[in-house]
A and B are shown apart, each in its own frame.
Chain A
Amino acid sequence: MIRLEPRNEVSKGLLYVTPVIAIGVTILAGVVMFAVLGKDPIRAISIIFLEPLTDSFAISEMIVKATPLILIAIGLSFGFRAGVWNIGAEGQFTVGALSGGAVALALYEVEGFWVLPLMCLAGALGGMAWAAIPAFLRTRFNANEILVSLMLTYVAVLLLSVLVYGPLKDPEGLNFPESRMFHPAATLPILIEETRAHVGFLVALAVAAVAWVVLGRHIFGYQVKVMGQSPRAAGFGGFVEKRVVWMCLMISGGLAGLAGLFEAAGPVGQLVPALPVGYGFTAIIVTFLGRLNPIGILLAGFVMALTYIGGETAQIEMNLPSAVTGVFQGMFLFSLLGFDVLARYRIRMFRTARTAPLAVQTAVGE
């Protein structure tokens, strides 16, 4: 019979091969789907996967799209390694945009190099404050952070819409629900002329590098790993556990809040009710596609951005309905997530059972 057997260490070779297999399978499935729909399958797939890579505008937009995904996903990866499940990054993103944006609006027409850093600080603190609620409730009352952070996401999105209808509404905006445009001093510098790619991307790269070092070298990285592998390991007292929970939620909340502020002060330039478009949720997928690894997350963030941009290009060039690109994206994610099993497990044909060491069982998931 066929049996999965966990690898002691994730296979380095398969680490790179499985995404390729997943892409191959998605392309096959895509060919069938496009053919059934009567669209030229080769053209559709080359538009989705290749065309954005040959076009400088599309690449700049991939940077725009990947920046928040990477920032949030890196933050989440700490917690996911330690078994701290913050799935409310969308809410922290929203509150970060709100608090940072409120600073921008309060300092409207104030010039000064310190305006933007202050906004960034407010954004990160806003995200951290929102993440502090699940951190506190988990460490103090043992409340499940998955569920608390998810509930708070809905509250945050409603809060944004209440505030842009009320106190943050553009005074000259004829009562329409959006804030005024941020003043130039409160807008992120652009990275590449004539595009929307902003300095937030550099921050994301720096964060990835720091995360890489912390996870590999720092005591906190070690604690995170230990807690994820066996929460009740000897010598790992409740105090350390509480600290890790707090640290993980503060890191992910702060980065999500910063990402939210970057969106508001960068590509959008104001607060609008539709600001949260699901980056916080998509970043969860990115975190797993990147296998909780900062470099992997960088790549995964770009792959994810590619499917969005490619999907839009396909709509424009082939008149594909947006539904088709949604289905295609879903299939792609399914196969990436599904084939990942090959990197983590061996497929063996067995007649007799073998027992894996118990510690591995709890660790294997991620």
Chain B
Amino acid sequence: MELAVLILQGIIVAPIPLVFAAIGELVVERSGVLNLGLEGMMILGAIAGFSVALDSGSLVAGIAAAALAGAIAAGIFGILTQVLLSNQVATGLALTIFGLGLAALWGQGYSGESTAPLAKIHIFLLSDIPIAGPLLFAHDPLVYLAFALVAGVAWFLSKTRAGLILRAVGENHDAAHAIGYNVVAVRMAALLFGGACAGVGGAYLSTVQTPFWVENMTAGRGWIALAIVVFASWRPGRVLVGAYLFGGVTVAQLHAQGFGIDIDAQYLSMLPYLVTILVLVLISHNKARVSLNAPACLAKPFFAPS
């Protein structure tokens, strides 16, 4: 039992960077923009978070810096795609190249250093409850922030007026514009939020999960986060399901190996992508349901006629 709790604890924490990056990208895509530069923004967040945390001695400052770095990178993407109307797919790929390079350059003096990881919160009494205590009430604050963000985004998109506008912009930017909403401003705001989330996701890797800096340490997680958004069919709650499917499969197979179960890890790691395609097909083949989920204007350029 104790072992099961430990394993589950590991599974809860492992996909947190994916949750951050994916929930941010979800908001971006809901506004009708496809930013493929997630990997670049995550790695910038990772080095910003690590370097500032190390130099200032404050993890909070590090996380804030990571959010800022991600948002700035997303801002560049926003100016190019929203103001200068460059193609989103190409610009996102360029952002990844740029981000990986800049992060490596920035991090040159930080290789081989290490910070103390974020302390876990032990919620008084609650964390002592057997089983549920360690599973639910004994993580670091960013875990709770990640879950709160998912809930917050779900509430924002479905219950607030601003969320409605954001969705309207993603559904039909011409109509939204005609009603008088500022499409570009809405999308910029979504992009900045998405960039900040990706930055924090990267910083979670470099300051909490493995508190050090090495080049390419995000190792493709930005791309997985993109898959998770699709898997989630653009619903915030399902981002958690997706993140735990992708991240959880990895941890579970590591444990399975430890128990001596022979499994082919390579085939297993294809599974989440295939499941994602299946989910996409299921939600897409019914046109009525697809309009509930997929933003109709995804990756389409918007030019304000006025």
Contacts and interface: CB of A to CB of B under 8 A. Distances in A.
Interface in A144-198: 144, 146-148, 150-152, 154-155, 158-159, 161-162, 165
A288 interface: yes
A324 B303 CA distance: 34
B52 interface: no
B85 A323 contact: no
A4 B104 contact: no
Contacts of B95: 330
A31 interface: no
B227 A150 contact: yes
Nearest to A288: B90
Contacts of A341: 84-86
B305 A355 contact: yes
25 contacts: A4-B303, A137-B280, A141-B281, A142-B290, A147-B280, A148-B280, A151-B276, A151-B280, A158-B266, A162-B266, A284-B90, A285-B94, A321-B104, A323-B102, A323-B104, A323-B105, A330-B94, A334-B76, A334-B91, A334-B98, A341-B86, A353-B306, A361-B305, A365-B303, A366-B87
Interface in A285-330: 285, 287-289, 321-330
Contacts of B223: 150, 154
A212 interface: no
A323 B284 contact: no
B101 A329 contact: yes
Contacts of A358: 305
A236 to B, nearest CB: 18
Interface residues of B, number: 54
A162 B80 CA distance: 39
Given A327-B101, A329-B97, A333-B98, A143 B281 contact: yes
A333 B81 CA distance: 13
Interface string B236-253: 000000000000000000
A358 B100 CA distance: 40
B101 A325 contact: yes
B299 interface: yes
Contact of A330 (B90, B99, B281, B299): B99
Given A155-B270, A365-B87, A356 B104 contact: no
B267 interface: yes
Interface in B195-221: 215
A6 B102 CA distance: 34
A255 interface: no
Interface size class of A (residues with CB under 8 A): 35 or more
Interface in A338-358: 338-341, 344-345, 353-356, 358
A322 B94 CA distance: 16
A158 B303 contact: no
A7 B99 CA distance: 33
Given A285-B93, A334-B94, A361-B303, A137 B277 contact: yes
B191 to A, nearest CB: 15
A85 interface: yes
Interface string B261-289: 00010110110011011001100110100
Contacts of B227: 150-151, 154
B306 A355 contact: yes
Nearest to B303: A364
B76 to A, nearest CB: 7
Q: Is the interface of B mostly helix, strand, loop or mixed?
A: helix
Interface in A37-68: none
A11 to B, nearest CB: 15
Given A151-B276, A321-B104, A334-B91, 4 more contacts: A142-B287, A158-B269, A330-B99, A337-B87
A158 B90 contact: no
B281 A159 contact: no
A151 B273 contact: yes
A14 interface: no
Contacts of B90: 284-285, 287-289, 333, 337
Nearest to B95: A330
B174 interface: yes
A15 interface: no
Contact of A326 (B84, B104, B280): B104
B89 interface: yes
B89 A321 contact: no
Contacts of A325: 101
Top-7 shortest CB links A-B: A326-B101, A330-B98, A365-B301, A323-B104, A333-B94, A141-B285, A337-B86
Contacts of B269: 158
B267 to A, nearest CB: 7
B102 to A, nearest CB: 5
A331 interface: yes
Interface in B90-148: 90-91, 93-95, 97-105, 108
A298 to B, nearest CB: 17
A360 to B, nearest CB: 8
B37 to A, nearest CB: 10
Contacts of A87: 36, 89
B299 A85 contact: yes
Contact of A146 (B34, B87, B93, B267): B34
